[in-house]
Structure 1
């Protein structure tokens, strides 16, 4: 077997390994909140994500891709050194895959794009020194550690607060949800269409202007809204919404809790007969507060609120499908981009800045993502869906929708964002809307640490693999 054949086979295996790890780690961006909220079981999340991810990767994945992702270093510096370029790209893919493997095992949601960026960065430093690196690009990518979660967290926080005020604090939550659903469907389909145009379908070269994209998004959103009206009107609350006399506004319950708190303070600062009177009032107030809490829980959580959550199950699944499709179309390039460069260099000896992607390579990337999701995807899905904060379909929808809006804004404003960081930030924003104590701070700490070390970890591991691969094929380290 010739050395070229061995290189091609090894490159295909390593690329598949990278795609497998993309599926294991990154697909949780689309399905983590759906599983955590109970909108989908893990089994159905894997089935739905597998179909949408593969469709995105295979049908609209890039047929012409950057050989070195994100412009960290120019391939031209490798001119005259095709073998070093091949060894370096193989080392970068293997290192990125290895780091993602470690992160997935630990349940850390990290950016696959940042992983390959860090790996290519390490190879570039070894081969041509620090001066060949586009540090301005690297700094922009590092800025996404702050930009992505902050922006998506703020948007998701506001969305959830709006839903809570307009629906859950309403006297008739189900009817309020039915009135809002067509508008929500319009914006969801509109925003997700923009995500597809700007992020997921860019490989089809649909160079639509912002005006044309907005018209298309509005048209699709309007059709979806009209379809949703008769469907959502079929949903009825299991409680008797017609009788509003016994409705208790949630604000009353909160006010009563404040009354109890203030009475306890008064009791602590009084003595004698006045203290006895305050105690009687306090006991009565506590009983009323407890009754209000039980009444609200029994009447609304078990009936109206559950009905509202059922409505949002469909909205969340819809948004998750769009995000999965866009992810498959866009991020499969993290596995096949370097591979395309390797295949081009092996076959022609020419190092190209952009390379054609054979159909079987797209198939390989799509299959790798699906298998990675099916075998190890549950680990990161659990972290996003269950370990950061408690999710319901409403909260999951707010997070998913907030992340989608962030991706659209970032795409048009040229802000460096990571899909992973965006979704995690959105989940954090929804959690913060219910108070800091609703967040699992230890999990958040581990995630933030994993983000910071992703690029240096990829760079360091690449350097080790580069020398190992070079020695295996040439018998020398330098």
Structure 2
């Protein structure tokens, strides 16, 4: 076994950077609906999601094995190919984050790997059957299944709660949302953290540090879990805003149904080794829940933008990965050029994001968007003043009454 080389160390660090971007890019999968319905405060939600992402990383290695020894043939693949693939995945992740589009981090990674491998060794380096059965087919089927499950669950919850007090029912479902959001976070760690484990394991195999077919070492599992957890804790507020408020307006019953359906599909796929997109699953379940409530609507303009991003993700990352691999062939100068392009591209996207920053205050429910004092002042500004000489309690009622309208003052009877 060879020792770690400088390039292999760079690849491992780059893989963990991708894992970090995966965390803040996909936080919305677990927590967008919980935040949008007011079940949890934004920062509490992302902290809870981060912890459970870390725990989930230790539950399975089936998806990691699918990536490290399934999609790409280990023989003939160099460390440079993996580095180029990660560059394509990271840049696509950051671009879609800037645009607030919940695209698939998983497909960005797959696209980067496939493009870089095709540029390096041709079609012999890609296992076409594995790509079709464990990537493409789940990408089509999973969001449909999750959406249908959420749709039926929403119908059922409203039917069960039709004879109960809606406010009391909503409180119960908010508690259920917290539990189901935790389950989605756990599932996200189980599925997505493993993808980085698989990439690092593949790099260690190509570098001669591990034998072909080896499972991820413990230090790889720990580092990948920590990276995705830290990214999750930062909170991808732009995508949370799109998922929680841009696709449809969700009530607690719908949020619970969406998250439960998504978690079930993700955990089942992780057990079977299907490396599906948690973003697509959760987006499908949100749309299904939106349609499941009578009078509920889906904003199809936003959904269409998402579908376009989904379709572009794999080929776009593949093109960038292929271009990066071409540069790395030129030796150390090419590798340095790719690293500079990655840093410059990431820095540019970050600078652009600061022009219109989105933080945790942008994703809270509308009722909590403004402090009480601001709301009271706004109401007072548009409310007609009370009659001259009116008692103080009438003045108070005029300013604080909901909607800015005061009850009619009691006038003395005329004789």
| Structure 2 stretches lacking a partner, 5+ long | 338-415
The residue matched to 1:27 in structure 2 has which SS?
Answer: helix
Aligned equivalents of 2:79, 2:274: Cα separation in 1 = 31
Matches for 1:52-201 after TM superposition, within 5 Å: 52-57=52-57, 59-60=58-59, 62=61, 65-66=64-65, 68-69=67-68, 71-76=70-75, 78=76, 85-140=78-133, 141-167=135-161, 169-170=162-163, 173=164
- Please give the alpha-carbon distance, in whole angstroms, between the structure 1 residues aligned to 2:50 and 2:22: 12
2:31 aligns with 31
Q: CA deviation at 1:395?
A: 0.7
Decide which of 328, 331, 339 is 1:469's aligned counterpart.
Answer: 328
Query: For the aligned residues, what is the CA RMSD?
Result: 3.0
Query: Given the alignment of the two structures, is residue 389 of structure 1 paired with residue 248 of structure 2, yes or no?
Result: yes
The question of whether the paired residues in 1 share the 8 Å contact of 2:146 and 2:261 is answered with: yes
Bigger relative contact order (CA 8 A; separation at least 6): 1
Distance 1:161 1:18, change over 3 A: same
**Which structure would you say has the larger Rg?**
1
TM, length-normalised to structure 2: 0.72
- SS of the aligned residue for 2:214 comes to strand
CA deviation after TM superposition for structure 1 residue 376, in Å: 4.5
Query: Matched residue pairs, number?
Result: 334
Residue 413 of structure 1 and its aligned partner are, at CA, apart by 8.5
Determine helix, strand or coil for the equivalent of 1:354: coil
Distance 2:295 2:144 in 1: 15
Determine if contact 1:389/1:431 at 8 Å carries over to the other structure: yes
- What TM-score comes out, normalization by structure 1 length? 0.64
* Residue 193 of structure 2: aligned partner: 332
Structure 1: where are the runs of 5+ without partners? Answer: 79-83, 174-303
1:317, CA displacement in angstroms?
A: 0.8
Aligned pair in 2 of structure 1 residues 395, 467: CA closer, same or farther (>3 Å)?
same
In 1, are the aligned partners of 2:62 and 2:271 still within 8 Å (CA)? no
> 1:62-461, aligned counterparts within 5 Å?
62=61, 65-66=64-65, 68-69=67-68, 71-76=70-75, 78=76, 85-140=78-133, 141-167=135-161, 169-170=162-163, 173=164, 304-348=165-209, 352-407=211-266, 417-434=276-293, 438-461=297-320
- Secondary structure, counterpart of 2:207 in structure 1: helix
Larger mean Cα displacement after TM superposition, 96-105 or 405-414: 405-414
Q: Deviations over 1:290-313 (max 9, x none)?
A: xxxxxxxxxxxxxx3222111111
- Greater alpha carbon shift after TM alignment, 466-475 vs 368-377: 466-475
How far off is 1:163 after superposition? 1.3
Aligned residues of 2:87 and 2:321 also touching (Cα < 8 A) = yes
Cα distance between partner residues in 2 of 1:375 and 1:322? 19
